[in-house]
Amino acid sequence: MVAGEGAIAPLSEDVGRLREAVEAFRRRPKTGRTQEQISHELSQVRVICDVMELEFSDLASEFAATDEYDQQGFDSPISWLKQVCHMSSGAAGDRVCAGDQLQRLGQSADALATGEIGFAHFALIARTAAAVGGRFDEVELLRKARKLNIFPFRNSCLHARHAANPERFVNEEKEGVEARSLTLTTADDGVVLVQGILDKVGGAALRTALEPLAKRAGKGDHRKLDRRLGDALVDLSMHALDNGVPSRRPHLQVTTSLETLLGLSGAPAAEMEFSLPISAKAVERLACDCSVTRILLNSDSMVIDVGRAKRLVSGPQSKALRVRDGGCTWPGCDRPATWTSAHHVVHWIHGGSTDLPNLVLLCYRHHWMVHEGNWQIVRTDDGCIHTIPPLMGFGSRSREPD
């Protein structure tokens, strides 16, 4: 049979009997069981599934030793398993390896058959056995498998691999480094798709940097983890723009007309390097504190850096502002001062001064909520900050990013 033809060969007698047994099991009465009976049945069925996985692995290993995949037009047995058995390459590889190692893993196979370990444990043991060869200690690893859940057991297997063959371990790590990549693709609507692979240490560095930034900011923060991580990556980038080595500090470069900056109707969008055109609202926010941004005006084809002296918070003032606010002033937010920008309560483009009483520190997300999200921020005379959510209008309500 050639892949894709869709013809299904008749089942062999053994597989036919197996399928009949499964059908009979599915037809069993399913009412009137106690919770205890359901949980017991669940664990028993899992053991049978795992035993079947081991049988599948044995077959997969036997199949991989033939050239049948080649005859059917596939470049490897893994490709065949992926296509015909609808598996990921990792799952297919696990099964071929488990089948290959089955003969030398008799104790682990027994432990699986009695439900002491699962197939996922067995696959990890098999991968370890294949990697360390003659220095493999089944008894010791099986002892750990009986005690540990999959995730910590994976670490135990890696320790065993390192102990048995540190050179091979470092070579595998090098392969991870060689696979590194990052692609940033701008979609039709201007959002950026991020996809990449990082080596172990690089990935851990990224997560270590992002995790504290991705924590919930106060009680009203209902963003899910993936959204908080996305925000954290932007925070990290903004922080780099604001705090990089001065001589090499990059700037977000925005080119706009005065009409756009003033938010006049009929004004075009603004242009930003590495981005599709951005809205007047976004420019208003970026121009609010221009320590990370250069705003250029393009009237009469002249490009000038506009109003820089007017809007830039001076050194001593910036210091005083950081001391006064300490960090993001949004109630419940704990971003420190170095992770914030100075928001003009009355925008400088509308005559607001760049003086302490007209400035508050806001982190990237809360700054967004004030400008694009239409939240209001009020600073009372005694220094208290109050936030007012956007009013319901005729159109859809402006939402905060979460």
* Chain residues in the site for Zn ion (CB under 5 A): 288, 328, 330, 333, 335, 343, 363, 366
Q: How far is the CB of 374 from Zn ion (least distance, A)?
A: 12
Give the torsion sign (CA, 235, 237, 242, 244): positive
Q: How far is the CB of 401 from Zn ion (least distance, A)?
A: 11
Residue 342 sits at φ, ψ, to 5 deg, of -85, 115
Nearer to Zn ion, 203 or 352 (CB): 352
Q: How far is the CB of 217 from Zn ion (least distance, A)?
A: 6
What the block records as the tokens of 119 is 């197939």
Residue 193, burial from CB neighbour count under 10 angstroms (0-12, 13-18, 19+): exposed
Instruction: Give the C-alpha separation, 6 to 268, whole Å.
Output: 55
Nearer to Zn ion, 160 or 313 (CB): 313
Identify the H or E element spanning 239. Answer: helix 225-243
Q: DSSP 3-state helix, strand, coil percentages of the chain (rounded to 5)?
A: 55, 10, 35
Q: How far is the CB of 93 from Zn ion (least distance, A)?
A: 45
Instruction: Give the C-alpha separation, 261 to 354, whole Å.
Output: 17
Other CB atoms closer than 10 Å to residue 171's CB: what's the count?
10
Nearer to Zn ion, 119 or 330 (CB): 330
Nearer to Zn ion, 99 or 373 (CB): 373
What the block records as the tokens of 280 is 């007047």
Is 342 in contact with 349 (CB distance < 8 Å)?
no
Nearer to Zn ion, 111 or 333 (CB): 333
Nearer to Zn ion, 82 or 281 (CB): 281
- Beta-bridged to residue 224, according to DSSP, are none
Nearer to Zn ion, 261 or 328 (CB): 328
From the list 393, 343, 390, 381, the residue with the least C-alpha distance to 363 is 343
Nearer to Zn ion, 102 or 213 (CB): 213
Q: How far is the CB of 371 from Zn ion (least distance, A)?
A: 6
Q: How far is the CB of 139 from Zn ion (least distance, A)?
A: 54
364-402: buried (b, 16+ CB within 10 Å) or exposed (e) per residue? bbbbbbbbbbbbebebeeeeeeebeeeeeeeeeebebee
Q: How far is the CB of 361 from Zn ion (least distance, A)?
A: 9
Q: How far is the CB of 288 from Zn ion (least distance, A)?
A: 3
